[in-house]
Amino acid sequence: MAARIVAEFTKGFWKEIAPLRFALGICPALAVSTKVESALGMGMAVVFVLCMSNVLISAVRNFVPDKVRIAVFISIIATGVVIVELVMQAYFYPLFLVLGIWIPLIVVNCIVLGRAEAFARKNPVILSLSDGLGMGLGFTLSLVVISSLREILGAGSWLGMMVMPEGYPGFGFLLRPPGAFVIFGLILGAMNVISAKIEKKTV
Partner 1 sequence: MQEYLLMIVAAMFINNIVLIRFMGNCPVVGVTSSFESAVGMGAAVVFVATMAGTTCWIIQRTILDVLGIEYLQTLVFILVIAALVQFVEIVMQKVAPPLYRALGIFLPLITTNCMVFGVAVLNIKEDHSFMETLVFSLASAVGFGLVLVFMAGLRERMDATGRVPRPLKGVPITLITAGMMGLSFAGLLGMV
Which parts of 72-101 interact with partner 1 (CB under 8 A)? 74-75, 78-79, 81-82, 85-86, 101
| Least distance from partner 1 to the Cβ atom of residue 180, Å | 7
- In the complex, least distance from residue 34 CB atom to partner 1, rounded to whole angstroms: 11
How far lies 80's CA from each of 57, 86, 192, in Å? 12, 10, 34
Helices (H), 156-176: none
Please provide the DSSP assignment of 112-149 as one string. Answer: HHHHIIIIITTS-HHHHHHHHHHHHHHHHHHHHHHHHH
Among 6, 23, 118, 162, the residue binding partner 1 under the rule CB under 8 A is 23
176 scored as a contact of partner 1 (CB under 8 A): yes
Q: Tell me whether residue 5 or residue 191 sits nearer to partner 1 (CB atom).
A: 191
Which is nearer to partner 1, 169 or 178 (by Cβ)? Answer: 178
User: x/- string (CB under 8 A) for partner 1, residues 107-136?
Assistant: xxxx--x-----------------------
For partner 1, give the closer residue by CB, 165 or 178.
Answer: 178
Burial 77-115 (b: 16+ CB within 10 A, else e): bbebbeebbeebeeeeeebbebbeebbeebbebbbbbbb
The residues with which 161 forms a beta bridge, in sequence order, are 158
Binding segment for partner 1 (CB under 8 A), chosen from 8-16, 106-114, 142-150, 156-164, is 106-114
Q: Which residues contact 71 (CB under 8 A, 6 or more apart)?
A: none
User: What is the longest distance spanned by two Cα atoms in the chain?
Assistant: 62
Residue 8 CB, nearest approach to partner 1 (Å)? 23
d(CA 13, CA 139): 8
Residues at the contact surface with partner 1, assessed by CB under 8 A: 23-24, 26-28, 30-31, 70-71, 74-75, 78-79, 81-82, 85-86, 101, 104-105, 107-110, 113, 176-182, 184-186, 188-190, 192-193, 196
